Structure 1
């Protein structure tokens, strides 16, 4: 059903997701040299998801849905553990043998898996409703 939105509506949604991603990641990432690199995430997303969509001949709605969902996923994934990730990074700079904190890593792995399953389920549900 939601995949039946017009292409222009999906372009607006994807643009909004890009703006949300860039703004949120600038707030979430507290390490200056990595803050600058966050602007590449939408470019990499466009290339990766766009190439996948072209290679598999997906409809624009599907491709833009996957792009928008991916752009929203990263801030949702990192926001709860941003402080811990920052602390782990600065500890690692001082002592490269330092390991990441287990709770933060568990959160990132578990929530990314759940979010990817939810994105895939949303895609399948959107395809079935549109068919």
Structure 2
């Protein structure tokens, strides 16, 4: 199955997905603050998943699969609606005292794509265990 790929392949996948994620997420953010914050997602996610995997006894392949999947889920959620998300972020940063109402269709896309993506990731993961 998909998760039965050698660990070396999963390392290459993670090494390819990380800069892709950072580049696309930074491209999607309208402000330096947003660009900086999304750059730290892999830096935080990597160690958290490694610690979680150690506690749960997951293999490195499964851990790297989850790492790459989470990074790709963020890309799938944000990049297609980046124009509207960027506009909302920019408005909020320019008016911090006013609660900006998020763009409705973008919010719907983010929620829908997150649920579907997570279902696929969990489905693949569960088929392996």
Answer yes or no: same fold by TM over 0.5. yes
Distance, in Å, in 2 between the alignment partners of 1:107 and 1:80 is 9
1:1-131 aligned within 5 A: 1-92=1-92, 93-94=94-95, 96-125=98-127, 127=128
Runs of 4+ in 1 over 6 A off after TM superposition: none
Give how far 1:98 is off: 2.6
CA RMSD of aligned residues (A): 1.5
Give how far 1:30 is off: 2.0
> TM-score scaled by structure 1?
0.88
**CA deviation profile, 1:96-117 (whole Å, cap 9, x unmatched):** 1331122111111111111111
5+ residue gaps, structure 2:
none
> TM-score scaled by structure 2?
0.89
Distance, in Å, in 2 between the alignment partners of 1:26 and 1:97 is 23
5+ residue gaps, structure 1:
none
Distance, in Å, in 2 between the alignment partners of 1:37 and 1:97 is 20
